[in-house]
């Protein structure tokens, strides 16, 4: 979380830095700030504000003249970890004499100890943050060489971080370093950017260096040098980013989330791409395992967080049913601290759209150390996950800006379906005819969702949601593949509308959650056609008998559900195991409409950030 950026070059950098931060704002938007090195006055021009980037621009308004000159600067957009959301805690942080400025993403775990030691030496802290130890420590070790000072500090700090440091006495220089947090370098013509992620500078340059952990990136007016911790140069040639520019545009939609919901057909199409033959043959280049080895996989372990975890849960049904391989799915933050029993012969899939989630990366690392074959299922080609894994399975959903994941979720399930089909064919768990049929169904899905999104169905979802905008609690129930859909639907609602939700397997309802229900309580029941449909209908009867109002998510054309539910949200018809891809769409829209009805900012929900790079 948090976005950092730095620039050294020939152009005035105020606009480059603030625009770069706007492209990083999905990483955090509690506060923002920048420090531009004003060489003439031998000091930093520091502007910070609580709130979003538009607030930072407003805060800069009065200083236009002062900010027009500098050509070296650093900036930050914050997701608060240590210290409340206040101006004092906004980055950049400066040393007491104002000579050193630092922006950081991550956590310095031993900051309390370092802070006490510095305080004993007379240092006065201006913020509650862990980051602030960095400018003070760098200042303490500075003897005319910023690189040497940063190296000295690296020997003292523990944690996971990426930071950029600047010193007033070295006006055309920045020193940056990463340790388990992302940092990329953009090499332009006589100018260089460092940032947390590519979108920060893709509009300016596509030549990129990806430094490794604990490498020092020294940016000067005449270019970049990468050093190892002992100060020895490391050769790192830039490579050209071949992807699209992926600028954050809403393309006529009110919000990124709505745009991204509507981009799901394209995301699904692109994720299928040329991987799926009409005969059901699946080619997954990059997965890092030859087919015969893949066919012998004994167990699959899926590790992920949040929405990606829910995609993993949906994928389990596909892999177990189509390929007959046992699958475990676990929240990465728990998996990483359990006794890991994965080993050679096991396939571990880390699902992370950003490729940066700290817990997922750690869980993948643990499994890799045990000798399992680790695959990153991600939407980001050059992310940490792709670098840490033995193989990669890419979703091709395009940049997702909305904090609430939508199109990456359905693309993740599609990628897992492709893998399941491949495994199933290789292990002869699916017949040739069966594979052909499934291939057809998978290819039909994007069009079916497109037709759904263009039909009156989304407007009908809005009408239903309008009845429930004021409700203060929702229970989500489902069975079988409906369970992950409930989890995901409930997460969508709570994260963008701040309404408490509970999501449960419907069979478990009588073991506790039914006590939550009251006259009029809204219960969302995921009830697609399939072998548990009748069971779900029984559960609907049970909650209605307690006065609950049922909003059912059902398969288009089902003639029975309307008589059991108060409202029906229709989803395109699909084979039962693929229902998580279709039934989540009306629930994304339902959550969206409730949040809009409440007048909330769905793209930037409170307290959240798009990527969670701290554990």
Nearest to 611 by CA among 390, 361, 365, 301: 361
Look up 305 and say whether it is catalytic: no
The β-bridge relationship of strands 391-394 and 346-352 is unpaired
The β-bridge relationship of strands 474-478 and 522-527 is parallel
* CB 196 to ligand AGP: min, Å: 13
* CB 19 to ligand AGP: min, Å: 24
Question: Binding residues for ligand AGP, per CB under 6 A?
Answer: 305-308, 352-354, 357, 360, 403-405, 495, 608, 611-612
* CB 308 to ligand AGP: min, Å: 4
Nearest to 259 by CA among 249, 268, 245: 249
Nearest 5 degrees, angle CA 142-CA 148-CA 149? 35
* CB 514 to ligand AGP: min, Å: 27
* CB 615 to ligand AGP: min, Å: 12
Task: Report the half-sphere exposure of 604 (CA within 13 A, side-chain side).
Answer: 14
Instruction: Select 566 or 615, whichever has its Cβ closest to ligand AGP.
Output: 615
d(CA 347, CA 373): 5
Instruction: Select 217 or 362, whichever has its Cβ closest to ligand AGP.
Output: 362
Kindly state the DSSP code that residue 244 receives in the 8-state scheme.
-
Task: Report the half-sphere exposure of 353 (CA within 13 A, side-chain side).
Answer: 30
Instruction: Select 404 or 569, whichever has its Cβ closest to ligand AGP.
Output: 404
509 within 8 A of 526, measured Cβ to Cβ:
no
Residue of 422, 492, 604, 610 marked catalytic: 610
* CB 405 to ligand AGP: min, Å: 4
* CB 317 to ligand AGP: min, Å: 19
DSSP H or E segment with residue 300: strand 299-304
Instruction: Select 268 or 493, whichever has its Cβ closest to ligand AGP.
Output: 493
- The terminus-to-terminus CA distance of the chain in angstroms comes to 10
Tell me how crowded residue 488 is: count the other CB atoms within 10 A of its CB. Answer: 31
Residue nearest to ligand AGP (CB): 306
* CB 552 to ligand AGP: min, Å: 23
* CB 527 to ligand AGP: min, Å: 23
d(CA 239, CA 98): 36
Instruction: Select 348 or 532, whichever has its Cβ closest to ligand AGP.
Output: 348
* CB 333 to ligand AGP: min, Å: 10
Strand, coil or helix: 3: strand
Instruction: Select 72 or 333, whichever has its Cβ closest to ligand AGP.
Output: 333
Maximal CA-CA distance, the chain: 79
- Radius of gyration of the chain, Cα coordinates, nearest whole angstrom: 26
Instruction: Select 308 or 521, whichever has its Cβ closest to ligand AGP.
Output: 308
Instruction: Select 130 or 359, whichever has its Cβ closest to ligand AGP.
Output: 359
Q: What is the 3-state secondary structure (H, E, C) of 18-71?
A: HHHHHHHHHHCCCEEEEEEEECCCCEEEEEEEECCHHHHHHHHHHHHHHHHCCC
Residue 248's contacts (CB-CB under 8 Å, 6 or more residues apart) are 22, 23, 26, 199, 256, 399, 401
Strand, coil or helix: 509: helix
* CB 454 to ligand AGP: min, Å: 24
Q: Annotate 190-217 with DSSP letters as a single string.
A: SEEEEESSGGGTTTT--EEE-PPTT-EE
Tell me how crowded residue 594 is: count the other CB atoms within 10 A of its CB. Answer: 25
Nearest to 246 by CA among 22, 401, 115: 401
Name the strands in the sheet holding 31-38, side by side, starting at the edge strand that comes first in the sequence: 43-50, 31-38, 72-78, 3-9, 191-195, 184-187, 207-209, 239-240
The β-bridge relationship of strands 72-78 and 93-94 is unpaired
Kindly state the DSSP code that residue 90 receives in the 8-state scheme.
S
Instruction: Select 127 or 264, whichever has its Cβ closest to ligand AGP.
Output: 264
Look up 2 and say whether it is catalytic: yes
Residue of 2, 13, 181, 340 marked catalytic: 2
Nearest to 380 by CA among 196, 581, 255: 196
Please classify residue 266 by burial: count the beta carbons closer than 10 Å to its beta carbon, then call 0-12 exposed, 13-18 middle and 19+ buried: middle
Instruction: Select 27 or 567, whichever has its Cβ closest to ligand AGP.
Output: 27
Strand, coil or helix: 141: helix
Q: Which residues are known catalytic residues?
A: 2, 610
């Amino acid at each position: 979380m948090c976005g950092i950026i730095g620039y050294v070059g020939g152009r005035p950098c105020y606009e480059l830095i603030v625009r770069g931060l706007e492209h990083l704002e999905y990483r955090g938007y509690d506060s923002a700030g920048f420090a531009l090195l004003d060489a003439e006055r031998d000091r930093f021009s520091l502007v910070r504000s609580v709130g979003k980037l538009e607030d930072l621009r407003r805060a800069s308004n009065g200083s236009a003249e002062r900010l027009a000159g500098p050509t070296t600067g650093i900036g930050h957009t914050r997701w608060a970890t240590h210290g409340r959301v206040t101006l004092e805690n906004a980055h950049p942080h400066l040393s007491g004499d104002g000579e050193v400025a630092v922006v950081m993403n991550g956590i310095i775990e031993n900051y309390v100890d370092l802070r006490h030691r510095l305080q004993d030496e007379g240092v006065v802290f201006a913020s509650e943050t862990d980051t602030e130890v960095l400018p003070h420590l760098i200042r303490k070790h500075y003897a005319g060489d910023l690189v040497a000072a940063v190296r000295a500090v690296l020997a003292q700090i523990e944690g996971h971080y990426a930071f950029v440091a600047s010193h007033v006495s070295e006006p055309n220089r920045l020193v940056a370093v990463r340790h388990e947090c992302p940092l990329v370098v953009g090499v332009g013509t006589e100018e260089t950017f460092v940032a947390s992620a590519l979108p920060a500078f893709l509009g300016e340059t596509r030549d990129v260096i990806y430094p490794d952990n604990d490498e020092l990136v020294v940016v000067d007016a005449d270019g970049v040098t990468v050093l190892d911790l002992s100060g020895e140069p490391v050769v790192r040639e830039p490579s050209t980013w071949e992807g699209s520019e992926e600028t954050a545009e809403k393309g006529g939609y009110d919000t990124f989330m709505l745009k991204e919901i509507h981009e799901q057909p394209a995301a699904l199409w692109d994720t299928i791409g040329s991987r799926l033959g009409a005969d059901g043959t699946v080619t997954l280049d990059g997965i890092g395992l030859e087919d015969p080895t893949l066919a012998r996989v004994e167990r699959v372990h899926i590790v992920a967080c949040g929405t990606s975890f829910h995609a993993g849960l949906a994928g389990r049904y596909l892999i177990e049913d189509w390929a007959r391989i046992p699958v475990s799915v676990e929240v990465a933050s728990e998996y990483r601290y359990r006794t890991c029993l994965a080993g050679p012969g096991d396939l571990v899939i880390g699902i992370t759209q950003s490729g940066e989630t700290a817990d997922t990366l750690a869980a993948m690392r643990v499994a890799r150390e045990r000798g399992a074959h680790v695959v990153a299922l991600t939407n980001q080609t050059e992310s940490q996950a792709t670098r840490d894994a033995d193989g990669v399975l890419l979703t091709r959903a395009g940049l997702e800006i909305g904090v609430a994941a939508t199109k990456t979720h359905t693309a993740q399930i599609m990628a897992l379906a492709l893998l399941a089909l491949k495994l199933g064919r290789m292990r002869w768990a699916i017949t040739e005819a069966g594979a052909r049929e499934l291939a057809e169904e998978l290819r039909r899905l994007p069009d079916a969702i497109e037709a759904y999104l263009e039909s009156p169905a989304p407007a009908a979802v809005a009408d239903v949601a309008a009845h429930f905008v004021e409700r203060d609690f929702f229970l989500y129930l489902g069975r079988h593949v409906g369970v992950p859909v409930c989890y995901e639907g409930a997460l969508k609602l709570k994260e963008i509308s701040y309404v408490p939700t509970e999501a449960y397997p419907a069979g478990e309802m009588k073991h506790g959650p039914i006590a939550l229900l009251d006259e009029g309580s809204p219960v969302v029941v995921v009830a697609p056609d399939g072998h548990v449909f009748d069971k779900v209908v029984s559960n609907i009867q049970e909650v209605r008998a307690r006065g609950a109002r049922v909003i059912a998510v059902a398969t288009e054309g089902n003639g029975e559900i309307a008589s059991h539910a108060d409202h029906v949200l229709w989803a395109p018809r699909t084979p039962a195991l693929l229902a998580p891809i279709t039934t989540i769409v009306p629930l994304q829209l339902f959550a969206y409409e409730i949040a809009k009805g409440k007048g909330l900012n769905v793209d930037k929900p409170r307290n959240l950030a798009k990527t969670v790079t701290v554990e």
